[in-house]
Structure 1
Amino acid sequence: MADPFLQIEHIRKSFGPTTVVQDFNLDVGRGEFVSFLGPSGCGKTTVLRMVAGFEEPSSGRIVVAGKDVTRLKPNQRNVGMVFQAYALFPNLTVAQNVGFGLKVAGMPKPDADRRVAEMLNLIKLPEFGDRYPYQLSGGQQQRVALARALAPKPKLLLLDEPLSALDAKVRVSLRDEIRMIQKELGITTIFVTHDQEEALSISDRIVVMYGGKAEQVGTPFEIYNRPATKFVANFVGTLNVLEGVVSDAAAGKVRISSQELSLKGKLNGSKTGDQLSLALRPEAIALGPKPGHDASLQGQIADVHFLGSVIRVRVGLGSGIVSLDTFNNSATPPPTVGDKTEISFSSNDLLVLH
C-alpha cells in the first residue's frame, strides 16, 4: 500500500503480566472498510480501543494521515466510535444526541442544526429528532449512535460489534446500511465483529485475529478460499477436515481412510509417512462424478437434512465424515441414509492445513 491512511505499527498491549495484543501491524488505505474478525478474547477490541485512544499501547505506534497519534487523548484524534451498547444519553432527544459532539466542539447552533438534519436524513430518521432513545427500536438507536459518531466529520470511523445486540433480520439490514453510508461518505472504517458472515459480506479486507495476533489479512475471497492457517480455515465458514498420511511423497499421493488421492504440487515438502490435515469446503464437493473433478472417494450416506432450497448431506468415509450441500430439485429425491455413494471434487480445492 503506497500511502496508507492509518498505520498500526508493532502494537503490543499488556495488562500486568498478561499480553493481549502481540506485535500487531496493519496498514489501512483511505476510504477502506476493514473488519477485525475473531473469537472473544482475541484482542480485536483492544486494538480498536488503542486506535481510538481509550487504551495506550505498551509499545508501538499509531499514525493517522501521517500524524503520530499514539499518545493523544481520544478527543484529540478526530475519531468517531460506535459501541456495542448504543450509549445514547437517555435524557437527550435524538437530535440532541446527534448534535452532542458538535455542541462540545463549539459549533454555532445554526450550523449544528443543519449538520444534525443532514445526519438524520443520512440514517433515514428525519422525523425522529424530537423523540427520546426509549421511544426507538434497537436498530433505530444504533442508527442514531452512528449519526452521532459521524456528525463531527471524523477522519476514522470505528465500530465495536455494533450489531451484536440486534435480532438477525435487523442486523442484516443495518450492516448493509452501514456499508452504504461508509461508501457514500468515503470514510476509512474499522469494524470489529465475531460474526464471519458479517465480515465476509461488507469488508474490503478482513483481519482474522487469534491469541492477540493477526492470523491472516486479506480480502473476503482470499480469507475464505485460501486460509493461511488451520485456525482461519476452521473459524471462517464451514469446513471439512480430512486426516491423511503421505503414502508416496515423490508421486504426491496421500491415503485417506484406506483410499488414495493424488495431490501433486500440494505436499509442500512433506515426506512419506507424514500426517496431513486436508481441508475441503462443502460447496466444493459433489455427489457422484462431475466434469472438472479429478478426485473422488467412496463412502456411505450418514445423514440427510432437508433445509428448503438446500439439502445437506453427510457422508461417512471410514474414519471420518464430510458434509456437502446440494440444491433441492423437486424431480430428484434426496439420497437415502445407508446408501453407498461416491463424492468427487477438484484436487485444486483441497487445502493443506498447517
Structure 2
Amino acid sequence: MSFLVLDSIKKSFGQTQVVKDFHMAIEKGEFVSFLGPSGCGKTTILRMIAGFETPSDGVISIAGKNQNGLKTSQRNIGMVFQAYALFPNMSVFDNVAFGLKVAGQPKSEIEKRVKEMLKLIHLEHLADRYPYQLSGGQQQRVALARALAPKPQVLLLDEPLSALDAKIRVSLREEIRQIQRQLGITTVFVTHDQEEALSISDRIVVMNAGRADQIGTPSDIYNRPATRFVASFVGTLNIIDAIVEDPAANTIRIGENVIKLREPIGALKGGDQVSIALRPEAGSLNESATGDTALTGKVVSSQFLGSVVRTRFEVGGNQISFDMFNAPDKILPQLGETVTLRFAASDLLLIKD
C-alpha cells in the first residue's frame, strides 16, 4: 500500500480551479518533485498536504489515515520554506529544538536530538549563533534540521533553494538528497528549476495549469516527454513540424528529407501535419557516427557555451539545434554551410498535445 496518497484532489479559489482532479500515490521513502511554472498548482498541492489549505474535493491520506480533517499540527509533517522562516531571536540550537519543546519532550531528549540534527547538517560548531550570523545556505540547513527534529512522517520542501546563489544551490540540494536517503523519509519537493528536479528525484510530477501532464522518473520525463508542454518545459528540445509521407511505411517528410520513424504514426493520413521532437545532444556531424537517420540543412547560427557549442541549422522551415562538445582543435560549422546531422530514428519522439 502506498504511503502518501492524493486521490482525486481538486482545489478552487472562488470560480478559479487551480488543481484539477489530481491523482498520485507516493511510496514510503520516495523523493518526489513537483515541477512547473508559477501558477501551475504545485505549491497549492503541497499546502494541501501540509494542511494549510483544504481540498475542495478528494482525499489526502498518509499511512492509510485520512488527513482532510486534521490540523497542520496533527499531521506529523516537517516543512521547509523558501524564506528560511527561522526565529531571529533564537539561537541555532533553540531553533532546531523548537518543535521538540512544543511537543513537551524531556530536556535531555531535546538536547540529544538537537545535537544529532546539528551533526547531520554539519553545523555543531554554530549551535550558539543567531540566524543573522549565518549565511543563507547555513540558515536553510538549520531550517531543514528544525523540520526533521520531531521525526516527521513526511517532509515538504517548498522551493527551499531558490533564494540561494547557484553554487550553494547545487551543494545544498545534494546534501538534502543525501540526508533524505539516510533517514528514509518520504519527501515532496516543489521547484520550478528543472535541473534540481532531474538531479535529485525518484519521480517528477510535471504540472501544467492545475493538472499533472506527466508523472515519471527523471529519465522518462527527459527522454520520453508525454506532451508538447513537457517536451518544451523540461530541458532543451527541438520541436520539428513535419508532414506524414506514407502512413503504411511510417515515414514523414521534413523539407526534402524523408525519415522513417520507429514510433507508429497511428491514425494519421498522408499529408497530415505532425510534430516530432529531438534533443540537441542526440545527433552528430561525424560521417562515421552510428545512426540510421539524417537531416541536411544550412547553418544559421552558432553559440559558444564553454564546454558545449550549440549550432542551429534550417531544414524544411524548422530551425534545429544540436550540441557538440568543445575542443581546442575542433572546426566549427560556419554560417551558410550545408551540414548533415546523423542520429538514430529512436531518438525522434512523436509529440502529442
Tell me by how many angstroms 1:264 deviates: 5.1
Tell me by how many angstroms 1:187 deviates: 0.3
SS across alignment from 1:189? strand
Runs of 4+ in 1 over 6 A off after TM superposition: none
CA distance in 2, matches of 1:50, 1:295: 48
| Partner deviation per Cα, 1:148-186 (whole Å, 9 max, x = no partner) | 000000000000000000000000000000000000000
Q: Is the counterpart of residue 12 in structure 1 residue 18 in structure 2?
A: no
| Partner deviation per Cα, 1:176-228 (whole Å, 9 max, x = no partner) | 00000000000000000000000000000001111111111110011111111
Tell me the amino acid that sits aligned with residue 186 of structure 1. G
Aligned to 1:132: 130
Decide which moves more: 112-121 or 310-319.
310-319
Q: Does the CA contact (< 8 Å) of 1:251 and 1:264 recur in 2?
A: no
SS across alignment from 1:287? coil
Tell me the amino acid that sits aligned with residue 305 of structure 1. Q
CA distance in 1, matches of 2:85, 2:289: 55
Tell me by how many angstroms 1:258 deviates: 3.2
Tell me the amino acid that sits aligned with residue 45 of structure 2. V
Alignment of 1:1-354 (within 5 A): 3-263=1-261, 265-354=263-352
SS across alignment from 1:31? coil
Tell me by how many angstroms 1:289 deviates: 3.5
Tell me the amino acid that sits aligned with residue 184 of structure 2. G
| Partner deviation per Cα, 1:116-140 (whole Å, 9 max, x = no partner) | 1111111110011111101111000
SS across alignment from 2:144? helix
SS across alignment from 1:127? helix
Q: Does the CA contact (< 8 Å) of 2:282 and 2:347 recur in 1?
A: yes
Tell me the amino acid that sits aligned with residue 235 of structure 1. F
Tell me the amino acid that sits aligned with residue 41 of structure 2. G
CA distance in 1, matches of 2:161, 2:81: 9
CA distance in 2, matches of 1:263, 1:203: 31
Q: Does the CA contact (< 8 Å) of 1:37 and 1:193 recur in 2?
A: yes
Tell me the amino acid that sits aligned with residue 223 of structure 2. N
Decide which moves more: 71-80 or 287-296.
287-296
Aligned residue-pair number: 352
Tell me by how many angstroms 1:307 deviates: 2.2
Decide which moves more: 257-266 or 179-188.
257-266
Tell me the amino acid that sits aligned with residue 116 of structure 2. E
Tell me the amino acid that sits aligned with residue 282 of structure 2. A
SS across alignment from 1:332? coil
CA distance in 2, matches of 1:290, 1:252: 26
Decide which moves more: 250-259 or 33-42.
250-259
Tell me by how many angstroms 1:318 deviates: 4.1
CA distance in 2, matches of 1:194, 1:266: 33
Residues 264, 114 of structure 1: alpha-carbon distance in 2 compared, 3 angstrom cutoff: closer
| Partner deviation per Cα, 1:287-341 (whole Å, 9 max, x = no partner) | 1444431111111121222222221111121411111111123333222222111
TM-score, normalized by length of structure 1?
0.97
Decide which moves more: 124-133 or 258-267.
258-267
Decide which moves more: 94-103 or 308-317.
308-317
Q: Does the CA contact (< 8 Å) of 1:242 and 1:278 recur in 2?
A: yes
Tell me the amino acid that sits aligned with residue 190 of structure 1. V
Residues 103, 147 of structure 1: alpha-carbon distance in 2 compared, 3 angstrom cutoff: same
Residues 224, 178 of structure 1: alpha-carbon distance in 2 compared, 3 angstrom cutoff: same
SS across alignment from 2:61? strand
Decide which moves more: 175-184 or 268-277.
268-277
SS across alignment from 1:99? helix
Tell me the amino acid that sits aligned with residue 335 of structure 2. V
Q: Does the CA contact (< 8 Å) of 1:290 and 1:344 recur in 2?
A: no
CA distance in 2, matches of 1:254, 1:27: 39
CA distance in 2, matches of 1:57, 1:290: 57
Q: Percent identity?
A: 61
| Partner deviation per Cα, 1:49-96 (whole Å, 9 max, x = no partner) | 000100000010011011111110000000000011111111111111
| Partner deviation per Cα, 1:3-52 (whole Å, 9 max, x = no partner) | 21111100000001000001111101110000000110000000000001
Q: Does the CA contact (< 8 Å) of 2:262 and 2:346 recur in 1?
A: no
CA distance in 2, matches of 1:337, 1:273: 32
SS across alignment from 2:281? helix
Tell me the amino acid that sits aligned with residue 108 of structure 1. P
CA distance in 1, matches of 2:330, 2:40: 45
Tell me the amino acid that sits aligned with residue 191 of structure 1. F
